[in-house]
Structure 1
Amino acid sequence: MIYVAVFGAMILLRWALEGNAELRRGFYWALLFALFLFSAFRFEVGCDWTGYLNQYFVYRSRSPDELLDESEPLWVGLFMLLRSLGLSYPWINVLSSGVFFLGIHALCRRQIDPLACLIFLFPILYINMPMSGIRQGAAIGIMCLAYCAFSDRAPARFIAWVLVASAIHSSALVFLLLAPLVEGNYSRSRLFLAALLAVPGGLALMSTESAQVADSRYIDTGIDAVGAIFRVGALALSAAYFFIVLEKKWMKRFPGDFKLAAIGALMMVATLAVLPVSSVIADRVAYYLIPIQAAIFARIPFFSWRVDRELHTAFPYALLFALFVAWTMLGSHFEQCYIPYQSWLLGFPEGTRLSAP
C-alpha cells in the first residue's frame, strides 16, 4: 500500500541520515513541500471530501455580516474567500493544508531534528487531518503556533492563537485552560493551582454553544470514533514513557520547553480518562496533542543513554509503524477513503463540477 510504503521510506531515510544533520535539514524542506503537495492537491481522497464539498456550496454564499453569527467564523470565511477569488472547491484543501504546514513547520523547526518531528506526524495526524478532516487540521496548525508561544512564555500570544484556532474549530477552546500555566516554572503546586482555576473555566466552556452541540452529538449517543482507543492509547503510552524514562533527563537537558512536554504528556493521559465518556471528544483532543508527542519522540536520540540508546531511538518508529500497519489493514474505512490516491495538480478530470454557478 502506498501510504505504508511512504512511511517506511521516511523511516529508512531518517536511519540513513543518522550521522548527517545538514542533510537531514535539506531533506526536511523537501519532505515538507512534498507532503504539502500530496495533501493540498488530492482529488476525491479523504473521508470528508463530500462533507466539505457540501459546505463549499452552503458557505460560499454567506455575506460578511453573517460571519458574526457563526461559531467558527474563520472557517466560513475561507469559503467566502474562495468565492471572492473565483476558485473551485478543491482550493479549500490548498488553503487548509497551507495553514496546517505553517504551524507544523513553526513547531518542528524548533527541534534538534526537524525531519524526525515531521516523520512522526505522518501516520496518524497527517493522514487524518490535512488529508481528510481539514477544518481541525487547520486549527491544529494554528495550535502549533500557540504551543510555540507557550514555550516562549508569552501568554497574550498564546491566548490569541488559541482564539484564532477556535474560530476555525471550536474544540481548540479547551486549550484556554492552559493559560494560567504559560508563565512561571513547572511545578506540582502550580499545576494544582491551574487545575483549580480550570474548574470555573471548564464550566464556562461547557456552557458555550459549541460545547452543547458536542454534548448532544457525541455523549451517550452511540456515536464512536473508530480507532480512537488505539490513537488515544498510543498517546497514553507515549506519556508513560515520558514520565518514566524522559522526565528527569528532559528537565536537565531541555529546561526551556520542559513545561510544554510535561503538560502535553499529562493531557495525553487525561484523554484516556475521557475515552469511556466519549470516544469522539477524546479523539478530537488527542489529535491536538500529536504534535507534542512528535516533538517528544524527536528528542529521544539527543539524551545521554548509558545503555540501549538504539532501542530507545527505535521505540517511537516501531510503535507508530505497527499502529499504522494495523490501521491500514484492519480499518474498515481506510481503503474506502484513501485508495486510490488521485491528484488534480495537473488538472481536473473532464466533466468535473466543483464550483457553484
Structure 2
Amino acid sequence: MTVYLSIFLAMAFLGLMVKTRGQQDGALAVVGVFLLLFMGTRNDTGCDFRAYSARFMNLYHDPSYLSYVTQEEPGFHWLNLLVHDLGLSYMWLNVFGSLIFLVCLIRFVRLAPAPMLLMAIMFPVVILQLGMSGLRQALATAFLLQAMISFVHVRRINVGLWILVAAQFHHSAYLFLPLAMMAGRRFSVPMAVAAVAFLGPASVFLLGDRADVYSDRYVEQIYGENSSGGAVLRYALAVLPCVLFEFHTKRMRALFPKLYPLLRVSSLMTIALAPIGLLSTVALHRMTFYVLPVDLLIFICTVMTMPKPKVLSREWLYAPAGVLLTYLVGWFTLSSHSTICYVPYESFLF
C-alpha cells in the first residue's frame, strides 16, 4: 500500500499547491510521464494482467487486420496486433494502452478549474482500479472522455464519433450514444427522454449479440450469481458529488456556464444508475467507471463554489483529496483484491 499511497499524496500535494495554468500544465506533464512508466511497465500487477497476457500470447496468429473487423471490439484486437507486428513483448501493449489512456485523461482534466487535483483524485479508482486492470474498458472510458470534451464544446458529430471509437474497445460504450443528441441543447427531461427514445434502440442494435450477453449475465444471471463487493462503495463515491451538485445548481450554472450542461447530465445520469445495483452490482460497477471521471470533476467544481457563492475558491479543495485518501486507505485495508492484485507492485524495469 505504501507505494500507491505515496503516489497519491504526492499528486494531491501538487494539485493543492500549483495554481496558475502554466504550473498546472507543467505538473500534469511530469506526472503524466511518471504514470506512463508506472502503469505501462507493470509486471503481474492488476487483476486482469494475466488474462490479457494469455490473450496476447495465444489469440493473434492471424496477421490480417481486416480479419478482426467483424469480431467484437476490433479496436482492442488491432492494438494487440500492432504490438505483435512491431515484434514487441506484452509489456508494450500496456505501454501503448497507458499512453492513449493518459493522453485522453490529461486532455479531460484540463477542463477543470484545478486540473492537477482532479488528476490526483482520479488515481485511486480511475487510474489504479480501472487503468491498471481493465484495459479494454479503460480505453473505452478514455475515448468517452473525449466525447465529453466535444460535448462541452458543442460538437455534436464529434461526440457521436468518439463514442463509436470507444465502443470498438468495449461494446457497452454504445449506451452513451444519446449524449450526441443532447450536446448543445438546454437539458430537460423531455429532451433526455427523446434522445434515449431515438438513439437508445440504435445503441442496443449496435451492441448486437452483446446486448443479450449483458442481459443474461447481469439481469438473468444465467451464468451464476454476479456480484461486486466494492461496487456499492464506488457508486457512493460517484453519487456523493452529484448530491452536492443538485443543491448548488444555480451557483454552478453561474460560475461554470460552459461546463454546466455536461455536469448536469452526468449528475442525473449517475443518480439514475441506482436501480441497476438492484439487478446486478457488477453492471453497476462497470457503469460507475464510465461516469466517475465526470463525477469527480463535479466534486472539484462544486466545492470551489460553496465557500463564496459568487467567485471560485480553493478553500475547500482539500475535501475531495481527503475523501479519496480515505477511500484508498480503506480499499487497501479491507479489500482482498487490492492485496492479491496490486501488492507488491512490480515493474519490468526492476
Q: Same fold (TM over 0.5)?
A: yes
- Secondary structure of 2:30's match? helix
Letter aligned with residue 243 of structure 2: A
Of residues 248, 251, 254, the one that matches 1:249 is 251
Structure 1 match to 2:300: 298
The separation in 1 between residues aligned to 2:303 and 2:245, in whole angstroms, is 13
Matched, 1:327 2:331: yes
The separation in 2 between residues aligned to 1:9 and 1:105, in whole angstroms, is 17
- Secondary structure of 2:112's match? coil
The separation in 1 between residues aligned to 2:344 and 2:197, in whole angstroms, is 49
Q: 1:313-352 CA distances to partner (integer Å, 9 max, x unpaired)?
A: 3332222222221111000111110111111136xxxxxx
The separation in 2 between residues aligned to 1:233 and 1:301, in whole angstroms, is 17
The separation in 2 between residues aligned to 1:199 and 1:77, in whole angstroms, is 28
Structure 1 match to 2:152: 151
Q: 1:35-93 CA distances to partner (integer Å, 9 max, x unpaired)?
A: 12110111111111110011102332133332122110111111111111111111110
Alignment of 1:68-107 (within 5 A): 68-107=69-108
Letter aligned with residue 343 of structure 2: I
Letter aligned with residue 234 of structure 2: R
Structure 2 match to 1:175: 176
Q: Against the structure 1 CA distance between its residues 137 and 211, is the aligned structure 2 distance closer, same or farther, given a 3 Å change threshold?
A: same
Structure 2 match to 1:353: none
Count, aligned residues? 343
Q: Against the structure 1 CA distance between its residues 115 and 146, is the aligned structure 2 distance closer, same or farther, given a 3 Å change threshold?
A: same
Alignment of 1:1-357 (within 5 A): 1-17=2-18, 22-62=22-62, 63-197=64-198, 200-201=201-202, 204=205, 208-219=208-219, 220=221, 221-245=224-248, 247-300=249-302, 302-303=304-305, 305-306=307-308, 312-345=316-349
The separation in 2 between residues aligned to 1:69 and 1:59, in whole angstroms, is 15
The separation in 2 between residues aligned to 1:78 and 1:236, in whole angstroms, is 33
- Secondary structure of 2:77's match? helix
Q: Against the structure 1 CA distance between its residues 203 and 337, is the aligned structure 2 distance closer, same or farther, given a 3 Å change threshold?
A: closer
The separation in 2 between residues aligned to 1:9 and 1:344, in whole angstroms, is 23
- Indicate the percent of aligned positions where both proteins have the same amino acid: 27
Can you give the 5+ residue segments of structure 2 that lack an aligned partner in the other structure? none
TM-score normalized with structure 1 length: 0.89
Q: 1:238-287 CA distances to partner (integer Å, 9 max, x unpaired)?
A: 21111113x21111111112111111111111222211111111111111
- Secondary structure of 1:90's match? helix
- Secondary structure of 1:305's match? coil
Can you give the 5+ residue segments of structure 1 that lack an aligned partner in the other structure? 347-357
Q: 1:173-200 CA distances to partner (integer Å, 9 max, x unpaired)?
A: 1101222201322234423433443554
The separation in 1 between residues aligned to 2:33 and 2:204, in whole angstroms, is 41
Q: 1:187-236 CA distances to partner (integer Å, 9 max, x unpaired)?
A: 34423433443554465467x21121222233333111230010011111
Q: Against the structure 1 CA distance between its residues 205 and 256, is the aligned structure 2 distance closer, same or farther, given a 3 Å change threshold?
A: same
Letter aligned with residue 56 of structure 2: Y
The separation in 2 between residues aligned to 1:285 and 1:49, in whole angstroms, is 21
Give the RMSD, CA atoms, in angstroms: 2.2
Q: Against the structure 1 CA distance between its residues 93 and 311, is the aligned structure 2 distance closer, same or farther, given a 3 Å change threshold?
A: same
Q: Against the structure 1 CA distance between its residues 170 and 239, is the aligned structure 2 distance closer, same or farther, given a 3 Å change threshold?
A: same
Q: 1:275-320 CA distances to partner (integer Å, 9 max, x unpaired)?
A: 111111111111111220222233245436349x677433322222
Letter aligned with residue 305 of structure 2: F
